[in-house]
Chain A
Amino acid sequence: MPTRILAIDDSPTIRGLVSRALKAAGFEVYTASDGVEGLGVLADADPDLIITDVNMPRMDGFGLIEGVRGSLEYATVPILVLTTESGSDLKARARRAGATGWIVKPFEDAQLVAIIDKVLGR
């Protein structure tokens, strides 16, 4: 069974790019456009890993992480934060919120897959 990934980003372009890269790497990809939608589709997507943007309307990435970590079933699903900042501030915040790791935009497809592989131990 292919590994399932839920990608959450309010930008259709980024969603598209992430999906494309992940599908090419053989993942099964689900998408959502913000935190609220992300939590909403969590059970349907049943992800092995979540990739989320930080700045999103309605519910941002941190809110999503909190929600996922607070759930019973998905509390330890790896969550990677997509960020344009390589600065330490955001990483620290992501870490505090309970993110597994982060991916700095822009990323190359291979990098994205390598990070996911690392986190999933594939």
Chain B
Amino acid sequence: MSDMDEYLEMFFVECDELLEAVATGLRQMDEGTYEMETVHAVFRAVHSIKGGAAAFGLTDLVSFAHKFETALDLLRSSALDLSPQAMAVFHRSSDCLADLVAAARISDTRENALREELLIELEALIGEEDETEADVDFVPLSLDLGDFGGSPVGDRYVISLMAEADLYRSGNDPAALIRALEKLGEVRVTLDAGNVPVLSEWSADTPTLRWQIELETEALLSEVEAVFEFVEDRCRLSIATIDQTTEDPDPDLRDSQDPEPQDSDMAEPAITEGTPPAQTSPAPSAAAPRPEGRAEAPGAKAAEATTTATIRVNLDRVDKLMNMIGELVIKEAMLTQVIQTAGLSEEPEVVGALEGLRQLAGDIQESVMAIRAQPLKQVFQRMHRIVREAADATGKQVRLVTVGEQTEVDKTMIERLIDPLTHMIRNSVDHGLEDSVRRHRSGKPQEGAITLSAAHKSGRVQIEVSDDGGGIDRARVRSIAEDKGLVVPGASLTPGEIDSLLFLPGFSSKDEVSALSGRGVGLDVVRREITALGGRVTIASTEGKGTTFTISLPLTLAVLEGMLIQLDDQTLVLPITAVQETLRPDHATLHHIGATGRALLNRGELIPIIDLGCTFGLRPAPGDAHNGVLIVVETDNHKRAAFQVDAIHDQRQVVIKSLEENYGRVSGVSAATILGDGKIALIIDPEEIITSSTSDHGRDRMAIAANG
């Protein structure tokens, strides 16, 4: 069944939400001031995971969720005290549940050691009393729940049924029961209405109608009994097997052959021998007092009665829409160009229509981006677990504070942020925070704090990971970098530059690779991953106070606001976010330093001039700065440079096209775009150009690191 896969995928999506609910609920419980509803909610979420998992035969998940749920249930009924130990087990169980879901998602059936361990710990919480393995029955059950053993086949049964009021009240119907029996074999039904009192004495609570049913079937007794599964304590029922070999279907023998009725405390209903039974075989439905009072709903039947306000959409469809909007933006740019060529760009009507079109395209683009936008919450929530694990591994006490979880970024970015953030958090616990002895000595609380925050900042998303640790030991970082040959000994480095050494490949500030952070991943990988998202990572550190890593990300991976510049016959795009100002140099501001070095004196600061034509290998030597335009740009590390270009054309939104997909990375270039004339223009990566253009050897190494 192929559509089962679809439901399975749906289940996993649901699991993500449920797991989040579990984690959030447990954290609220951590804080002590929780309400019972929180426990209920956690219980329900675990229970739902179990239910869904059972439907797909995910047995490891089911049995674990069951044990977890049982412990939570005890908590619900106050049979279990919420000790810190219990809380820790719950947290770890929540993590384990997430692992098991993840494993099931990729059909990983390997043994999970954590699961085995936690099953034992949960068991200990639950105690021995009420846990029987029979409850964990996730093998699809067949209908015959009662195990009465097999009786010989090819039998005749005589069934006596006297419905109590509760049978009707519970929505059961003797007629339905008889029809179910008909499916098993040949049925002869006799209605005994002899007990029906006169109306004045009639009470709904006293059963009066009695059915005698003869059933000839090959079904087992257990199958016959299964028909009455739902009503066995809502009627007086007796089922007798008449051995075919006895060949004695004499009705007179019926009563004597009836076994004790199940409700033995009730007096055997008196059956008047002489009453001629009313033959109503085989349809006693007329006698069934099931009220037919409810009217057919008049007229309009509501369609699917769900009232959900959200829909799930395959991401591919949104991506496709996004691509089409990208094409629309390009087409609009093309149209603008055509109109310009045709000399119509001054026509007020054309200008107005074009402006309207541009506005509309922008609005659509924004709307689609909003569809793709997701709160960072789901990433941030995961980090609680990372902190817990890191704290366990290092023996440090750590508290994670999250701020701005609701900040939204592009869905693709959410997924790709998990790895780098995980590593940064681990790094902060491992390297950022001091051990408890040193914290105590410096008068800090035992428990270290890591703050993970997010906010929108001037058209970008800024995520910060900060710790209240000892700050970067710059002397140590420097000596390690020198030892490893990453910088020339004695090179003049600003504090910020020393901090940036941490991003160099192969740099590890701990003498030995620690079990936690040293998983073959360094901060260089973090930087590369963030750069691949069009983002930047910077460090700020204050001795004794702590360290803050700042990630700055574009809102979307799809478009950026760029400045179109000219270099020889090539048009390129410079992201507007980096641009501080543009100016034409004159003799007063332009200064030569040595044979080739040139700098711009701008507001008292000497800014190095970089000829982009040389950078991109379009000309062998820098052109005359007087003939070009200078664009002052600043990096996230507050390094400034002036880019020399031949001309500036225009400022516009461009659609980002991957260059790596069909080619590879080009240094100094972050991506490509398509211009109005259909030609491709490269998007400049100013950060990389500035970082790599400085001459110091150590800085060159840094440039290599930045280039990945």
| Residues in A neighbouring B137, C-beta threshold 8 A | 86, 104
Say whether B169 contacts A11, CB under 8 Å: no
Q: With A12-B10, A85-B135, A121-B176 in contact, do A55 and B48 touch (Cβ < 8 Å)? A: yes
Is B482 positioned at the interface, with any CB of A under 8 Å from its CB? no
Q: With A41-B302, A98-B170 in contact, do A76 and B291 touch (Cβ < 8 Å)? A: yes
Q: Mark B226-240, 1 if CB is under 8 A from A, else 0.
A: 010110011000000
Minimum CB–CB distance from A28 to chain B (whole Å) comes to: 8
Say whether A13 contacts B52, CB under 8 Å: yes
Say whether B41 contacts A20, CB under 8 Å: no
B233 (CB) vs chain A CBs: closest residue: A95
Say whether B51 contacts A33, CB under 8 Å: no
* Chain B interface, number of residues (Cβ within 8 angstroms): 59
Is B666 positioned at the interface, with any CB of A under 8 Å from its CB? no
Is B245 positioned at the interface, with any CB of A under 8 Å from its CB? no
Q: Mark A66-108, 1 if CB is under 8 A from B, else 0.
A: 0001001111111100101111000000010011111011111
| Residues in A neighbouring B145, C-beta threshold 8 A | 86
Q: How many A-B residue pairs have CB under 8 A?
A: 153
Is A3 positioned at the interface, with any CB of B under 8 Å from its CB? no
Say whether A10 contacts B140, CB under 8 Å: no
Say whether B10 contacts A32, CB under 8 Å: no
* Chain A interface, number of residues (Cβ within 8 angstroms): 59
Is B536 positioned at the interface, with any CB of A under 8 Å from its CB? no
| Residues in A neighbouring B171, C-beta threshold 8 A | 76-79, 98-100, 119
| Residues in B neighbouring A32, C-beta threshold 8 A | 305-307
CA distance A28 to B169 in the complex (A): 24
Say whether A87 contacts B135, CB under 8 Å: yes
CA distance A47 to B10 in the complex (A): 26
Select which of A57, A74, A107, A108 is within 8 A of B294 by beta carbon: A74
Minimum CB–CB distance from B123 to chain A (whole Å) comes to: 18
Q: With A11-B51, A100-B230, A105-B55 in contact, do A76 and B306 touch (Cβ < 8 Å)? A: no
Is A30 positioned at the interface, with any CB of B under 8 Å from its CB? yes
| Residues in B neighbouring A22, C-beta threshold 8 A | none
Q: Mark A1-39, 1 if CB is under 8 A from B, else 0.
A: 000001000111110110010000000011111000100
Is B35 positioned at the interface, with any CB of A under 8 Å from its CB? no
| Residues in A neighbouring B169, C-beta threshold 8 A | 69, 75-76, 98
Q: With A13-B14, A76-B290, A118-B227 in contact, do A20 and B3 touch (Cβ < 8 Å)? A: yes
Minimum CB–CB distance from A44 to chain B (whole Å) comes to: 4
The 7 lowest CB-CB distance pairs between A and B, nearest first, are A121-B176, A101-B230, A44-B302, A41-B305, A100-B171, A78-B171, A121-B179
Q: Please report A residues at the B interface, Cβ cutoff 8 Å.
A: 6, 10-14, 16-17, 20, 29-33, 37, 40-41, 43-46, 53, 55-57, 69, 72-79, 82, 84-87, 95, 98-102, 104-108, 111, 114-115, 117-122
What are 6 A-B interface contacts by the 8 Å CB criterion?
Answer: A10-B48, A20-B3, A46-B297, A55-B48, A82-B51, A104-B137
